A and B are shown apart, each in its own frame.
Chain A
Amino acid sequence: NAGVMQNPRHLVRRRGQEARLRCSPMKGHSHVYWYRQLPEEGLKFMVYLQKENIIDESGMPKERFSAEFPKEGPSILRIQQVVRGDSAAYFCASSPGIANTGELFFGEGSRLTVL
């Protein structure tokens, strides 16, 4: 089991461009969580998804940010019209859903730099 896979690992965008971050959960996991980590800060919850459903997006900025977890394929975090303040590390985590013990399995993160 390769674990949670995130790509790209590093992404550079200019202000106004779009950023797409992908996350493939561990095999057998149906729950995905996205977190953002700003420099010198802890991980901040953004969104929690199950296959084809957004369960909780209370941590997502109201504009420019969206997330999906389609029936087939990876979960995608999309940031439109990026600004410098979006520069951060974005972490994805997954859990099995059924018999969830609270252990989240994290990816290595995607580091977004906005020029």
Chain B
Amino acid sequence: AQRVTQPEKLLSVFKGAPVELKCNYSYSGSPELFWYVQYSRQRLQLLLRHISRESIKGFTADLNKGETSFHLKKPFAQEEDSAMYYCALAFDSSYKLIFGSGTRLLVRP
């Protein structure tokens, strides 16, 4: 069965420190992977998707099929990055997303 695992419930870093939010998935085919973010008092929204290969707000994520991972990285964390981050997987054209349990990122001043 398809599954997304985010092993860390909370990640706390200081401003300016590098950040890596881990995501591993289980799926034997070719998935599409996404990172969604929920800032305080805002809706869940798309941050980035692996097929776009883009950097959004300084964040990047590379799909590693060998390790079945899609970790989210940022070299220098900012306080405004504090939020809940969810990794998600789509395995067919319905885009019925399978979400991980989320990681709360706290960036301290």
A residues sitting closer than 8 Å to B (CB atoms) are 3-4, 33, 35, 40-45, 48, 55-56, 91, 95, 100-108
Contacts and interface: CB of A to CB of B under 8 A. Distances in A.
Contacts of A100: 93, 95
A91 B94 contact: no
Given A41-B101, A43-B99, A100-B95, 8 more contacts: A42-B4, A42-B101, A55-B94, A91-B44, A102-B49, A104-B46, A105-B45, A107-B43
A103 B44 contact: no
Nearest to B33: A102
A42 B46 contact: no
B99 A42 contact: yes
Nearest to A58: B96
B90 A102 contact: yes
B56 interface: no
Contacts of B86: 42-43
A106 B101 contact: no
A56 B101 contact: no
Interface of B: 4, 6, 32, 34, 43-46, 49, 86, 90, 93-102
A50 B6 CA distance: 30
A48 B93 contact: no
A42 B100 contact: yes
A35 B86 CA distance: 14
Contact of B96 (A41, A42, A45): A45
A107 B34 CA distance: 18
Contacts of B49: 101-103
B46 A103 contact: yes
B34 A102 contact: yes
A56 B98 CA distance: 13
A102 B95 contact: yes
A106 B96 contact: no
A42 B88 CA distance: 10
Nearest to B84: A42
A56 B94 contact: yes
A29 to B, nearest CB: 12
A102 B96 contact: no
